[in-house]
Amino acid sequence: MPIRAPFRKQLITAWKRTIEKHYKNCLINSERSVRASLWAHLVEELPDNRCTFIEPRIRADDGNSIPRIYPDLVVCNSKSVIAVVELK
């Protein structure tokens, strides 16, 4: 099984729950609401050793300047980033 397969399944399950519980009941009124709902459902799916952040500031050094990016969700384990999720 590819290393990303478990996370992909967890993300799909969390997304489906977001749609079923919040979107279909007209409880989503903004992109931030989607992020919050997805975060809540994703945290339920992930193992306890995962940490999920909403819109963390990430500094990426490209050699010329240090741009700051704010991805929608970042999932980490105790040592590294597992996934960066951008909702569109």
Q: What is the pLDDT of residue 14?
A: 98
Q: 10 near 42, Cβ under 8 Å?
A: yes
Mean pLDDT of 54-80: 86
Q: What is the pLDDT of residue 3?
A: 65
Report field, pTM of the whole predicted structure over 0.95: no
Q: How far apart are CA 76 and CA 58, in angstroms?
A: 13
Phi, psi of 51 (to 5 degrees): -125, 130
